[in-house]
Amino acid sequence: MLETIGLRKSYGSQLAVDDFSHRFAPGKITTILGPSGSGKSTVLGMIAGLLQPDRGRVELGGRDLTSISPERRDFGMVFQHYALFPHLNVQQNVEFGLRVRRLTRKRRAERARETLQMIRIEHLADRRIREISGGEQQRVALARAIAIRPKVLLMDEPLSALDARLREELRSELLRLLRDLAITTIYVTHDQIEAMTLGHEMIILNHGQVEQAGPPDELYLRPASLFVANFLGDSNVFAAESEEVSERLRLPFATINLQPNGHNSSPNEHSSRCWAMIRPESMELVPEGEADFAATVESATFLGNRLRLQLRAAGEKVIVDVENRCAVSPSAPVYVKVKGAEVATWPR
Ligand code: ADP
Ligand code: MG
């Protein structure tokens, strides 16, 4: 088990990471997601041993690694621009870490071959680095990192230098590979799709602090803060009041039941101020009699697999995704039902 305890790092007077504590699930992939400058690389650098924390510890299996040098941590690393050795061929690059670890020539060659096969680039073994593409270079960097059979694999935006198509292709390849390898992996990215698809667990970082951590679906469905709701996916967020006993929620333009079979509220029950988040896919168009609220269509955008409606209800903007063949006419009234069970709330 890899664990960080209260890691903190400043650059001069600027606090880059504060109180970063997490237990990384063994053999699983944890993604760290956050905007640029939120401290992701600083966290990874401290775990790798490349940066000394001002405060806090890094532990592996209960052993304190904080003062151990990066080479002696036995961690594999892949970065956005992780320079391969241009004068060596692919196989020699993959063997590099094994040479440092004094494996015999025969064992090195075997291990390199095995690793190249695993990543399905054995046909590149004799190529020089400048003779292969950017995507292939990242595969070689990954092969080099895992050839040493690391205890932990650290990856910092490994796909962000590649173009969109290649990035998508490599993402699904990485997904298969990393899940098969079952190495404890920390994967840093600012791309939410990458973070959600690759991660068993996800940590959202904002201004050097953990906003929320948990399985991707939990973070998406139950964001714990306004930042997470806005950062992860598309969302509508409204100031609301919740009536806890009846599980009803008063929105600026409607009152909805949070449970499918919710009852009506009694007049004098306690209510509390909250934020309510409703995803665009958590609403649907229904006949007038079944609706929670009426709205007018301000615009409709064809997104291929769905149609995105920009609605206005009692002055509030509401984004609703509907089926791509749905016929709506601009400025016509529509009637909307909210899937109450999919609404997330948190105190305001
Ligand atoms: P991320 O990887 O999420 O983009 P970083 O960890 O690189 O964020 O940076 C976190 C904050 O620390 C940023 O505000 C950045 O400008 C600052 N920072 C990072 N590295 C240095 C450095 N070597 N010197 C000064 N400030 C730095
Ligand atoms: Mg970074």
CA 143 to chain centre: 23
Ligand 1 centre distance from Cα of residue 16 (Å) = 6
- Sequential pLDDT tens for the chain (348 residues): 999 999 999 999 999 999 999 999 999 999 999 999 999 999 999 999 999 999 999 999 999 999 999 989 999 999 887 679 999 999 999 999 898 888 899 999 999 999 999 988 999 999 999 999 988 999 999 999 999 999 999 999 999 888 888 888 889 888 998 888 899 999 999 999 999 999 999 999 999 999 999 999 999 999 988 899 989 999 999 999 998 777 899 999 999 998 765 555 455 567 899 999 999 999 999 999 999 999 999 999 999 989 999 999 999 999 999 998 888 887 779 999 999 999 999 988
At residue 145, the pLDDT reads: 93
Query: What is the rounded CA–CA span in Å between residue 231 and residue 33?
Result: 10
Query: What is the rounded CA–CA span in Å between residue 87 and residue 52?
Result: 32
Query: What is the rounded CA–CA span in Å between residue 285 and residue 294?
Result: 10
At residue 101, the pLDDT reads: 85
Asked if residue 270 lies in contact with residue 325, where contact means CB atoms within 8 angstroms, the answer is no
Closest CA to 154 of 65, 73, 87: 73
At residue 266, the pLDDT reads: 54
Residue 208 is encoded by which pair of tokens? 């050097």
At residue 325, the pLDDT reads: 87
Closest residue by Cα to atom 27, ligand 1, is 11
* Alpha-carbon distance values, 205 to 232, 237, 284, 333 (Å): 12, 20, 32, 40
Closest residue by Cα to atom 26, ligand 1, is 11
Residue among 41, 47, 79, 157 to mutate when testing ligand 1 (max atoms within 8 A of CB) = 41
Helices and strands (H and E) in the chain: how many: 8, 20
